[in-house]
Amino acid sequence: MNPKAVIELHKIVRNFQLGSEEIRVLRSIDLTITRGEYVALMGPSGSGKSTLMNILGCLDTPTSGEYYLNGREVARLSDNELADIRNKEIGFIFQTFNLLPRSTALDNVILPLIYAGLNRNDRDAAARKALDQVGLSDRVMHKPNELSGGQRQRVAIARALVNNPSILLADEPTGNLDTKTSIEIMGLLHDIHSKGNTIIIVTHEEDIAQHAHRIIRLRDGIIESDELNRNIRVYRKTEATSE
């Protein structure tokens, strides 16, 4: 076991049954991600990247192999323990935002804290702090339909951050955004990473992956390459503000 690892995968296999045929989606994946890394998972459709993301996020379980999250073997955990990990250890950021449409930004961010059992005052304070961290302190009482796409994604990022998770897992976080807003969101993720957070982005977009410090490419269920990014795209505020 690597004492600095937040994620360790050993010979992870994931098969799916399709009628009488068994589909091999992940084929003996070995992977270690240490605390504070900024990683992009890339691959074409059918490469296995979405299945791998679901396993990393404890949304799916492997057919065989071992997954250790902060030193705990995920396969040995109960359903309740897995739900607790998904709430406290992993912050999810989705392409479609997944916000409650009738709830304010504040209430959307508060939701994971309710499941975590915090009292009302602590929940409110933590949610406001998270929204302030993503630059939305003046939008706390706005509902999603009163926010731009970029602001909605910022609410989703605040919700992902609010429990101080071990990992931020972002699935195509800019997929529904225009270029300017995408740059702003990647700049925000850059700032979050610079404060010590571990970030894993799943993307098929090369320019988005170039923001990460390490790029892992999957093809046909195996890791085709795993390399440090020597040409990191550095966020500059002028990019987001220029026309």
pLDDT tens-digit readout, 5-60: 999 999 999 999 999 999 999 999 999 999 999 999 999 888 999 999 999 999 99
In a domain, 28, yes or no: no
Residues 184-204: tens digit of each pLDDT: 999 999 999 999 999 999 998
**Count of domains observed in the chain:** 1
In a domain, 203, yes or no: yes
Alpha helices in the chain (DSSP H): 49-56, 79-88, 105-116, 120-133, 149-161, 179-194, 206-209, 237-241
Task: Note if the pTM is more than 0.85.
Answer: yes
In a domain, 17, yes or no: no
* CATH code of 221's domain: 3.40.50.300
Helix axes 179-194, 149-161, angle to 10 degrees: 20
Residue with tokens 């995920």: 74
Across all residues in the chain, what is the average pLDDT?
A: 91
Paired tokens of 213: 């410090």
Residues 7 and 3: their CA atoms lie apart, in Å, by 10
Q: Supply the DSSP string of 17-32, one letter for each residue.
A: EETTEEEEEEEEEEEE
Query: Which residue range is the domain that position 156 belongs to?
Result: 36-62+78-241
CA distances from 74 to 56, 58, 77, 128 (A): 10, 8, 5, 32
Residues sharing a CB contact under 8 Å with residue 16, sequence separation 6 or more, in sequence order:
22, 23, 25
In a domain, 112, yes or no: yes
